[in-house]
Amino acid sequence: MSKKIDNTHNKFRAKLEKLLEGTDIFFNGENPWDISVYNPNLYERILTQGSLGLGEAYMDGWWILINSMNYLINSVLHKLKAE
């Protein structure tokens, strides 16, 4: 597997972090439900392609989840329902 990247100044990452506020999900965080990013183009792909881009990026190895995929999905869906 590639090295985990940390591009905290990416404008697309900043937009996604804003969307994830209140979900306790972070990029390259320490929790088992946080998203480990291995390709800096992930953020733009998610924003331009939506869930399809997220899924395809996962299959391409651009990101992984160490554990708790259910937590990630439920947190995002709960946030979307609240808006």
pLDDT of residue 71: 74
**pLDDT exceeding 90 applies to what percent of the chain?**
51
Domain range for 23: 11-77
Alpha carbon separation from 3 to 22, 25, 38, 68 (Å, rounded): 28, 20, 6, 21
Q: Residue type for 55, please?
A: G
Residue showing tokens 């990013």 = 37
18: pLDDT strictly greater than 80: yes
More confident residue, 43 or 34: 43
- What's the number of domains the chain is made of? 1
Q: How far apart are CA 30 and CA 67, in angstroms?
A: 11
Name the 3-class secondary structure at 42.
helix
On whether residue 65 sits in a domain, the answer given is yes
On whether residue 51 sits in a domain, the answer given is yes
On whether residue 35 sits in a domain, the answer given is yes
On whether residue 1 sits in a domain, the answer given is no
Q: How far apart are CA 24 and CA 49, in angstroms?
A: 23
Question: Are 65 and 28 in contact, with CB atoms under 8 Å apart?
Answer: no
On whether residue 54 sits in a domain, the answer given is yes
On whether residue 83 sits in a domain, the answer given is no
